């Protein structure tokens, strides 16, 4: 069972599209679930994700042009409750304590958030926290200069 976790694509405002090599990996039928942290930003990208699998879950990022996405979502995959939230709503952004609070509030085993464009995967209080970063490597004003 393959679950694709991605987000912060920022198409077309910051990048022109998903990298070619990545797209080659995404063949329809290969992936069962897609969990998206938001900031796609347009319907075009959603439609593309839906060609890969029917089970696509998206939460609202601060630049998504659809204001009707939910802010938080819980998806059950197998035995796991997975929480999804973009993360710009959690202040301070990327703060581990605050994310822990959100994990407790949502009562999930795995919490997936984005917004920082920084890939993370760690365990805390016996729960798992993931940030898929930006699937397109989009610019983020918060990144320290390289």
Partner 1 sequence: VNMPSEDIVALQSALLNLSLKCYRDQYEYGNKVLENTRKIFDNIASDTQVPTGTQAAKELVKMLKIPIDCYDILDVLKLNHYKLVLQLLSYRERHTVCMYIINGILDKETIIPTAEQVTQLFELLLTLIVDQTDNPSEASRQTITNEDFVEEQNLVARLCNNFQAINDPDQQYHIIKICQDTFKNGGLERMRFTYPPIIMQAYALTFRYKTIREQDEKWEKKCQKLFQLCNQLINTLTKLETNDLPLRLYLQGALAASEIGSENAETIAYEFFSQAYTLYEEQAGDTRAQCASLTLLIGTLEKVACFGEENHSTLRQSLTQAATRLVKRPDQVRTLLLCTHLFWSAQRVNESTQKSEQVRDGEKVLACLKKATKLTTQIMDQSVQVQLYNELLNCYIYYFNQNHPDIDITALNSLIEKLQSETSKISSNESDEFIRNQIQKTFDYLRQQSQVEKFQGLQINN
Which residues contact partner 1 by CB under 8 A?
10-17, 20, 42-44, 62-63, 67, 88-93, 95, 97-98, 101, 104-105, 107, 125, 139, 141-146
- Please report the sign of the dihedral spanned by the C-alpha atoms of residue 37, residue 63, residue 94, residue 68: negative
- Nearest approach, Cβ of residue 68 and partner 1 (Å): 10
- Nearest approach, Cβ of residue 28 and partner 1 (Å): 18
Q: Which is nearer to partner 1, 10 or 73 (CB)?
A: 10
Query: φ, ψ for residue 19 (rounded to 5)?
Result: -60, 145
Extended beta strands in the chain, E state = 3-6, 33-36, 55-58, 72-77, 80-85, 110-113, 119-124, 127-132
Q: Which is nearer to partner 1, 16 or 79 (CB)?
A: 16
Q: Which is nearer to partner 1, 3 or 37 (CB)?
A: 37
């Amino acid at each position: 069972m393959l679950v694709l976790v991605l987000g912060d694509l920022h198409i077309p405002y910051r990048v022109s599209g998903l990298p070619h090599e990545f797209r080659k990996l995404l063949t329809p039928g290969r992936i069962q679930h897609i969990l998206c942290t938001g900031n796609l930003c347009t319907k075009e990208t959603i439609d593309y994700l839906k060609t890969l699998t029917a089970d696509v879950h998206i939460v609202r990022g601060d630049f998504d042009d659809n204001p009707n996405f939910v802010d938080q979502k819980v998806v059950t995959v197998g035995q796991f409750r997975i929480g999804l939230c973009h993360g710009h709503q959690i202040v301070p952004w990327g703060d581990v304590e605050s994310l822990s609070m959100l994990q407790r509030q949502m009562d999930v085993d795995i919490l997936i958030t984005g917004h920082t464009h920084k890939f993370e995967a760690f365990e805390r209080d016996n729960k798992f926290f993931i940030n898929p970063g930006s699937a397109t490597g989009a610019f983020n004003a918060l990144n320290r200069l390289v």
